[in-house]
Structure 1
Amino acid sequence: MPLNRILVADDEESMRWVLSKALKRKGFTVDLAHDGRQALSLVQDNNYDLAILDIKMPGISGLDLLDKIRELKSDLLVVIMTAEASMKNAVEAMKRGAYDYITKPFDLDVIDAIIEKVGRAREIAGQVTMLKQELKERYQVEKNIIGNSPAMREVYKTIGKVAASDVTILVQGESGTGKELVARAVHFNSRRLGKPFVAINCAAIPKELLESELFGFEKGAFTGAVERKLGKFEQANQGTLFLDEIGDMPLDLQAKILRVLQEREITRTGGNQSIPVDVRIVAATNQELIEKVRQKEFREDLFYRLNVVPINLVPLRERREDIPQLVQYFLGRASAEMDISDKQCTDEAMAVLTAHSWPGNVRELENTIKRAVILSSDPLLTPRDFEGLEPLSGGQPTVSHDASLESIVDLKLRSCMNGIEKLEKGDIHAMVLEQVERPLIRFILEKTRWNQVKAADILGINRNTLRKKINDLGIELKRD
């Protein structure tokens, strides 16, 4: 957290002039106040990294101003100046929360030492705050990535393999699948834990502003640039920069991103100095970047720079076996946020949720659960609480060609059971097993050319058991 903007308040014009000139020479933005009231107004209207206050000023004294600053901006560090080198003043200033205390007259070397000391203090304070926040977020991220489907297990394995390195990652998936959660999981499991995680949505910022948001700008670079601003690359230095929806980035800016990846340095807008940056890049998109490359809408060289390790998040409709677990998680979180008793879904409601297409993916599911929890006064949520949710393809949900066998069976089973209003005692277990076993045994027999010894061995059952199942299931034997 480098110092940038400093307030100097002193009723002596010569002191204001000397400090302003010395600080500006070192690249700081300096605001001046000739008395305590003007200084208080500036503190109320602006954000400062350091305030240097004279102890005796008209209107409001330096010590009284220090009290008000502690109330308004408790994180603003204050240095008190005085011409009276009394122990009473020093003790009183430190008791009221001053960071340091200096006696006039002083050499400018003293100010240099103070600035360096303040910079180190701010850096340490920033690291402590960041560690607390990141540990909190890490706990939340590890709780928020829900799912035990084969597709999600592959995601977890990939995160585990690449997190410790600095390799660039491209996360691809539809909107609402949790791309930022994956990016945060990579960061929180890397050696960069404790350093910044900075996210920027490339689609949410007008293209004429995106460059200055990424690279920062110098004072006077354009109308309205009243002070220097650090961009996302510098803010993320030594940490991770998450470039969300990078497929929407303009081509001219893509070239500059490519240069940063190659050279590991940036230049602020309006500046000419190259600034080294140590940043790990995790990019994300809901678009088919390779198709955009073919259409000349995305740079091919940047695509291959970003796509070192791809992580693909499948849509929720292709990992339906995770839906019950997600529902339980969102039910608990919604109840906790609203401080109400936990609610549960009936089996019929869960079947409706599992069969829905979820075009908005996990985000849509979360909002649907939250809405139902808010609107329902009953502790049990029924299909009535989820009216308007329709299964895929007019009642016949579908899955992708690479979906797991479990998800296919689960989806088909729920589809078949949706029309049953009430489940009663019967032979459903035997019926379902029969319908699964028959095609399985027939398939293995076909693969072994109807050799029952080989088929029994592959199935893991003895030959007599296989023969009985063939008879019970009415499987017609064939001969090649």
Structure 2
Amino acid sequence: MKPIWIVDDDASIRWVLEKALARDNLATRSFANAREAMAAFELETPQVLVSDIRMPGESGIDLLAAVKARHPGLPVIIITAFSDLDSAVASFQGGAFDYLAKPFDIDKAVSLIRRALEESLREASVEAAPAETPEILGHAPAMQEVFRAIGRLSQSNVTVLITGESGTGKELVARALHKHSPRAQQPFIALNTAAIPKDLLESELFGHERGAFTGAQAMRRGRFEQAENGTLFLDEIGDMPFDLQTRLLRVLSDAHFYRVGGHQPVKANVRVIAATHQNLEQRVRDGLFREDLYHRLNVIRLRLPSLRERSDDIPLLVRHFLVQSAHQLGVEPKRMSEPAMRYLAGLALPGNVRQLENLCNWITVMAPGQTVEVKDLPRDLTQGHPAPAALPDAALPGAAGTPSAVVAPEAAAVAAHDWIGLLEQQAAAMLGAGQMDVMDTLAREFESALIKTALKHTHGRKNDAAVRLGIGRNTITRKIVELGIDGAREE
């Protein structure tokens, strides 16, 4: 984490803030004037900037303007005189995160800086694009058509609608479209509109002003602003609430929007790529999706084939995922025997590529030998039932490889991959024994297993694990402490 910069011509204020932040193990760097801070920005940037408003030479407002022009996502806290209302207003108009009125309470000042720090880390987590676009594999003719379409669209900024079943790789294709577009050096921001509660989605998309609603203690940029000059990927667009569809249509047609609670238009130079597994035409006929928005999004349609349509690619994908999974766990990759590979290639996998990847994770953890035979595959598959598109079963409470401290003897007899049956028997055993707080006990084990597995997959990176699990950074931090989980780090 980068240090917090303090800019103030008053040495005593610099000293007090440095000592207070040091007690919280937060690194600082101090400057006596705005000019020194501006020069330092040529070489590095802080995590948060705290600046006095009135200093010899350039003022804090001048510094704020210069910083926001180059680093719009950096939280800046302005220190003002208690009675200087005009300065406070100017600070917010310039994009300040908040302001401190002199004389200030040091504990409140540290609390405010911590809030700004959390916002800065959240922004960094959202905006950090992968160093390399994940590889899209496929030799089947249906996938070659997709690759050709990406090539034809490589120099275009046109809106694209990606359709296909869940698990076919729609986000990978969106990232590839961005990587090969003129916007490749700008942010790629992804948002699953079905994963955000309706009452939060508007703020998530468009941001909000300070005081727009209860809990809005500071102005926050939404995904459109974070994706400025880049690409915004809206997954599961078919699930977007009807009233928000109107706001999205306005942005696509007018190229500007308003933050929640805001009155000033914000320009939007963003390429939108949308995706859905649903039949949007049918949703239009059912009155659940705006027809005018549908036509705005459906400029170029790219349909991804299901795995059933590209079964020739299954051996290629299996080998890739087995190597990838082994690398994540630090073990030797498993090999599929010819009969086992033929068996997998003949399966109908409703979860598509995502399900196949999860299956390879299961094989890496659970298969007994280095060469995997048909008998080593999950019983669901060998008995002709579709395998669930879920996390590897070893990551679940009570499954083989992660034994629970309270697993009942009869539960141990259940097949390791039948985790729901195992959970039911575990709950029955605990209830039958008269144990109290069964829900809390099992929920804690379940959450602990999920978080530990996510941390293992992200090599301990807490922010990445939170994104993969679909929970907030503050939530995963709290859970790690509550559950006593080790091995997590910030970056």
Which TM-score applies when normalising by structure 2? 0.60
**1:351 positional shift:** 1.4
Conserved? CA contact 2:224–2:232, under 8 Å: yes
Match of 1:290 in 2: 281
How well do the aligned residues superpose, as a CA RMSD in angstroms? 3.8
Gaps of 5+ in 2: 75-119, 387-491
Q: Measure the CA separation in 2 of the matches of 1:209 and 1:194.
A: 29
- The code of the aligned residue for 1:211 comes to E
Conserved? CA contact 1:80–1:98, under 8 Å: no
The 3 A distance-change label for structure 1 pair 73 and 344 is farther
Conserved? CA contact 1:79–1:98, under 8 Å: no
Identity rate of aligned residues, in percent? 40
**1:312 positional shift:** 0.5
2:26 pairs, out of 72, 84, 88, with: 72
Larger Rg: 1
Match of 1:81 in 2: 32
Q: Measure the CA separation in 2 of the matches of 1:378 and 1:149.
A: 30
Conserved? CA contact 2:4–2:50, under 8 Å: no
1:410-430 alpha-carbon deviations (Å, 9 max, x no partner): xxxxxxxxxxxxxxxxxxxxx
Q: Give runs of aligned pairs for residues 250-261 of structure 1, distance below 5 A.
A: 250-261=241-252
Conserved? CA contact 1:197–1:242, under 8 Å: yes
Question: Does 2:58 match 1:109?
Answer: yes
Conserved? CA contact 1:356–1:392, under 8 Å: no
Conserved? CA contact 1:215–1:231, under 8 Å: yes
The 3 A distance-change label for structure 1 pair 380 and 176 is same
1:379-408 alpha-carbon deviations (Å, 9 max, x no partner): 10111221335489989xxxxxxxxxxxxx
**1:79 positional shift:** 4.3
Q: Provide the secondary structure at the position in 2 that maps to 1:170.
A: strand
- The code of the aligned residue for 1:80 comes to F
**1:364 positional shift:** 0.6
- The code of the aligned residue for 2:368 comes to S
Match of 2:397 in 1: none
Match of 2:12 in 1: 57
Conserved? CA contact 1:212–1:268, under 8 Å: yes
Q: Provide the secondary structure at the position in 1 that maps to 2:375.
A: helix
**1:135 positional shift:** 6.4
- The code of the aligned residue for 1:256 comes to R
Question: Does 2:346 match 1:355?
Answer: yes
Conserved? CA contact 2:183–2:230, under 8 Å: yes
Conserved? CA contact 1:134–1:188, under 8 Å: no
Q: Measure the CA separation in 2 of the matches of 1:394 and 1:102.
A: 63
**1:225 positional shift:** 0.9
Match of 1:374 in 2: 365
1:250-298 alpha-carbon deviations (Å, 9 max, x no partner): 1111111111100000101111111111000000001010111111111
The 3 A distance-change label for structure 1 pair 73 and 327 is farther
- The code of the aligned residue for 1:238 comes to N
Conserved? CA contact 1:254–1:299, under 8 Å: yes
- The code of the aligned residue for 1:384 comes to K
**1:56 positional shift:** 3.9
- The code of the aligned residue for 1:72 comes to L
Conserved? CA contact 2:236–2:274, under 8 Å: yes
Conserved? CA contact 2:53–2:60, under 8 Å: no
Q: Measure the CA separation in 1 of the matches of 2:329 and 2:233.
A: 31
**1:51 positional shift:** 3.5
Question: Does 2:132 match 1:137?
Answer: yes
Deviating more after overlay: 104-113 vs 246-255:
104-113
Q: Provide the secondary structure at the position in 1 that maps to 2:302.
A: strand
Q: Give runs of aligned pairs for residues 83-98 of structure 1, distance below 5 A.
A: none
Gaps of 5+ in 1: 1-43, 396-480
Question: Does 2:149 match 1:198?
Answer: no
Conserved? CA contact 1:177–1:363, under 8 Å: yes
1:129-182 alpha-carbon deviations (Å, 9 max, x no partner): 99x9546132xx2x2x11111110000111111131110000001111110000
Q: Measure the CA separation in 2 of the matches of 1:234 and 1:102.
A: 24
Match of 1:412 in 2: none
Deviating more after overlay: 116-125 vs 223-232:
116-125
Q: Give runs of aligned pairs for residues 270-281 of structure 1, distance below 5 A.
A: 270-281=261-272
- The code of the aligned residue for 1:155 comes to V
- The code of the aligned residue for 1:233 comes to F
